[in-house]
Amino acid sequence: MQAIDTFRMTIEQVGPPYPLLLSFDGTSIVEAELRRGTAQFVSPNELFINVNLRIGVVVTVDIYSRDDVQWASFPSGGPWYQLPPFPDFDISRLMAEGDGMEYAMANLVDIKVMGEETLIDGTTAIHIQANATGEVVRGLLFDLIEPEGDVQVDVYINPEDNRFSLVEVTMLETISEDSDEKSVWRIEFYDYNEAQDFEAPQQAQAEATEEA
């Protein structure tokens, strides 16, 4: 995964809402429900995501991240503006050695190989199920959630190239005796090493030129 130039992700949260913690002004924190997001990661430090959020009303937002700086187009298609720093957020950590995704996978416990399964798109994947602390998986969800307890992680790996097909993170704290519903984050991985399909905001391009 760390040797890959680009990949795309679809991110969904299903079951009872589990809020993201966002700040658009650097001071106030708002809770938002993520309905669906599509993203492309460009190694080693860029991410573009189009995300559908419920913040009282449903809005669509574009967010471009490079290292620890983010720009937002809110609503999607509007002018870009730079977001204030978000504590611990740095998109370059996602695929960095010993951090982000590698850290999460290396700190799984109670690992079970469930066998080969057919995913909803008809592809075959090796299903691995494990547990982890909430802190371990924060990096997988860009440090935008604050899990209160342990999580269950289900990883589906393409046996042909050993790349991720799907990762599901179940928030165990949301399971109760009164209901079978549970909050699950689904991250689907696809389009490995495809061409970059987004353009960075002009402000970000200008800053990158100045830094160079």
Confidence class of residue 157 from pLDDT cuts 50, 70 and 90?
Answer: very high
205 membership: H or E segment, kind and range = helix 202-211
Q: What is the reported pLDDT for 32? A: 86
Confidence class of residue 197 from pLDDT cuts 50, 70 and 90?
Answer: very high
Q: Are 105 and 99 in contact (CB under 8 A)?
A: no
The whole-angstrom separation of Cα 189 and Cα 170 is 17
Pairing mode, strands 57-66 and 69-73: antiparallel
Residues 6+ apart with CB under 8 A from 127: 113, 114, 115, 116, 117, 154, 155, 156
57-112 residue pLDDT tens: 888 999 999 999 999 998 888 899 898 877 778 899 889 998 888 988 999 999 99
Residue 11 has pLDDT above 80, yes or no: yes
Full-model pTM: 0.89
